[in-house]
Each structure stands twice: as structure tokens, then as C-alpha cells.
Structure 1
Amino acid sequence: VIFDLLGLSSRHMNTHVLRLLHQLFEIGQKKYPESLSKVFVLNSPSLFYGIWRIIKPVLNERTRNKIVICSKAMHDDLVGMLPQE
């Protein structure tokens, strides 16, 4: 799974969104624990790191280990792997 957070800003974040994200991760951990291989998070704005500090403790260690916050270099490598049209 690849999440591209380009354009994410504080106007997108509110308590409703954070509650929804929490529920989404909770359902995934409880109902589908082995269906997730890796999550790559691209173009993370500084806002994301604050959100990540809130969500990370709620996730179990196995799920946390499947999430990769990509650097710019890793982002370029992943984009290079996409099929060319």
C-alpha cells in the first residue's frame, strides 16, 4: 500500500479525521492482521509527524514494523519502479 500525502495540510486534520484514522488502523489490526505486507508513506509534510506520534502508540509492534516513512531518495526509487505508460 502506498499513501502519497502530497498536499496534506492542517485544513484536512480535525478530531473527526483522527478518530477515523484510529478506527481504520484498529479494524485492520484486529480483522486483517496478516493481509498487510508493507505501507509506504510518501511526501510526508511536517504535519504528518505530529499525527504519526498520536497514531503510532495505538498500533501493535507488528503493524508499526510494516509502515515505512519514505525519504525523498526512497520516494524516487519507488516511483522508478512504477510501470511506464
Structure 2
Amino acid sequence: MNLAALRAFDAVLSTGGFARAAERLNLSQPAVSAQILGLERMYGVSLFRRGLWVLRLPSSAKRWRRMCAGCWASCATWNISCARPAIWSRGN
């Protein structure tokens, strides 16, 4: 699993577009598109229905959206858990 590609997927979802996601991530729009395409090819799913002005989510992407949210929650928990020993070792 490529976390950078998942981050790009999440950014496209939350911003509503590839260009805005690229701006948020400080990447080029083609780089974001390539990351999404890589996920789609790796897992054999279509994550977005691309229209001229609108992105739509197929049912497979809706499931990915839920899994992505769970992934970020797990990462946040992991970061907190890993930081605690460092805090404790400083005497706090």
C-alpha cells in the first residue's frame, strides 16, 4: 500500500478535484493523477468517474473512502502510541 497515493486519494475526495488536491499536497496535478491511476491499476478498481467538470464516486470508491478514514485514524493512534515512550523518557 502506497500511503502517498492514499493521501492523494483522500485529498481529491476532500477538495473535490485533482487540481485542488495537488495544490493542497504541493504536487503537480499530473503527479496526483498518476498516484490515483497507480492505485486503480494495483487494485483493479475505478476510484473516480471522471467527467468534464465533475468527479463522481463509484460504489467501490465509497468503500475505499471508509477504509481510508480508518487508515488515518489508525495512523494517528500509532503516532500517539509511538510518541509516548519518547515523552516518558524525557521525564514528563
Q: If the length of structure 1 is used for normalisation, what is the TM-score?
A: 0.37
Larger radius of gyration: 2
Q: If the length of structure 2 is used for normalisation, what is the TM-score?
A: 0.35
Higher helix share: 2
Q: Quick one: higher RCO (CA 8 Å, sep 6+), 1 or 2?
A: 1
Higher strand share: 1
